[in-house]
Amino acid sequence: MERRKFLKQASMTTAALAVGGRSAATNPATTQPIAPLKPVYREKETGHAAPQDHGKALVNPGMGWTMHFYSNVPQNYGSKLEPSDTLDYFPGLSTVYLRLPWSFIEPEEGRFNWEMLDTPAQRWIEKGKKTAFRITSTESWTRFGTPEWVFRAGAKYEEGDDYWEPDYGDPIFLEKMENFVSAMAKRYDDESGTAFVDLGHFGLWGEGHTRMVAKYGNSWALEAKKKHIDIYCRHFKKTLLCLSDDYTGSNQPNEHFAITDYAFLRGVSLRDDSILVDPPPNSWYHSKMAQFFWPSLPVILEHEHYGSSVKRGAWDRELLLQSVEDYHASYMSIHWWPEILLEENREVIDRINRRMGYRLQMKDMQWPDSVPTGEPFTIRSQWCNAGVAPCYGGGYPCFTLKDDKGGIVAVLTDTSFDVKTLPVAPPGEASASSLTSSFSVAPAFGRFSRACQPGTYDLFFSVGKLNGTPLYELPYAESDGHKRYHAGRITLTERNV
């Protein structure tokens, strides 16, 4: 979506023309049903479907597990994977995450080593998955997270025994950084291939930790952080941008901070990099802050390196699940050797997959067994979201008729009901919104097209674009392979004259 100031979620549209007819939906805010268009004939016998959620992981836009292929150090954690290994066995994996120092990608000014990012990215993109990025300017394990040529150009820095830290507000540093961000955006500001981009040029590991505050003060840090946000927002117009919670301080629990409020107003979301770093009761600090973000922007969680968390006594499977609930998280990291993380935590990973992000369910559906071609009829359905977060991208229920050869006979989209308005709730408490949709099957084509000849057809339901293209995987088994799910059969009869 275009970069802009995010507003509160729009309320549900009440009545609007649908492809083929009108509809009525129950408005969650008022629970007052809108009167449907009445059919001109009486529905006698009714088809019915109440599919059961299969409980498996779904891979959908704007949510899922993110694999740390590079976790600052290039050897962690994709280095043991074969080029053909894209972790297809890991349930719910949607994104490969690439986090590296700036110096690795632009070793000389204007000369870029993009293949270090493009090579693993294309492995996942080829499988229909997405990529995410963080490029950092300060690392604890290498002297030059920022390329040395930036300092030689005159950018100020503090020279430490372990690493050199740039003055993040220095004009020369900001100029060189913006040149890089501009080049990066030209390559990766693409919703179709990029899930999100972290703001990574401020602080150690891109998390906002800096020794510079002692020298320049907190007001300097706030203004410098704002400049970094502005630079990324100037160049990334389509892709979700994210700010580490540690920009506020790693262990300061509060709901509002000046820098995160500023990020939100720029349409930048929240990423918590500190899940299960410390043992309970300090397993995380900023779930209250997330309440400001999650109603309109996806929240991203990164748990501590799994092995380190276990060694520190901080790892707790139930708390990992609870963090998803508390933050209403859309993404969670795979921050270790993936096969080990899955083998030792599969049960909780499966449970997280049933809650993380959104989980659209069609709970019940009724329709007439037979319909005269060209005459109005109704489909009544119930929809809910069993996940912890809204379906931010939105979408519309669609009902598709197919013949015995799998050919599409009719596409009936209800444009009055956007699934992003479905409320979220605690586990097992999601309420269903009722939808009454009125359609007519191709009244203009009846005489001229073989597509709508009288006969019995398979009826499918899906959620997707206004034009009926399915976007979202739903938790049901009987699919046509294109995210449409079988409900039953419907007969088209000769039109009454």
| Predicted confidence (pLDDT) per residue in 359-374, tens digit | 999 999 999 999 988 8
Band the pLDDT of 5: cuts 50, 70, 90: very low
Q: 23 vs 146, which has greater pLDDT? A: 146
Determine the Cα–Cα distance for residues 391 and 208; give it in Å rounded to an integer: 30
pLDDT at res. 16: 27
- Residue-level pLDDT at 357: 98
More confident residue, 144 or 27: 144
Does the pLDDT at position 337 exceed 80? yes
- Output the average pLDDT for the chain: 90
Burial of 448 (0-12, 13-18, 19+ CB in 10 A): exposed
Name the more confident of 305 and 17: 305
Binned at pLDDT 50, 70 and 90, residue 19 comes out as very low
Residue, of 11 and 169, whose pLDDT is higher: 169
DSSP H helical ranges for 63-193: 102-105, 115-125, 148-152, 171-188
Q: pLDDT digits over 38-61, tens only? A: 433 344 568 999 999 999 999 999
Residue 409 has pLDDT above 50, yes or no: yes
In the beta sheet, which residues pair with residue 310? none
Q: Please list, in sequence order, all residues whose beta carbon lies within 8 angstroms of the beta carbon of residue 14, skipping any fewer than 6 positions away.
A: 25, 27, 34, 416
Per-residue model confidence (pLDDT) at position 191: 84
Percent of the chain with pLDDT over 70: 89
Mapped onto helix, strand or coil, the DSSP state of residue 187 is helix
pTM of the model: 0.90
CA separation (Å) from 264 to 188, 230, 245?
22, 12, 12
Who wins on pLDDT, 34 or 111? Answer: 111
Of the candidates 456, 469, 470, 487, the residue with the CA atom closest to the CA atom of residue 364: 487
Residue 354 pLDDT greater than 80, yes or no: yes
Residue 41 token pair: 């004939």
What per-residue confidence (pLDDT) applies to 448?
Answer: 57
Q: Which residue has the higher pLDDT, 355 or 14?
A: 355
Distance CA 400, CA 243 (A): 41
Q: Which backbone phi and psi does 368 adopt, to 5 degrees? A: -70, 145
Q: What is the pLDDT of residues 419-474, one digit of tens each?
A: 999 999 999 999 999 999 999 987 555 555 655 788 999 999 999 999 999 999 99
Q: Is the pLDDT of residue 82 over 90?
A: yes
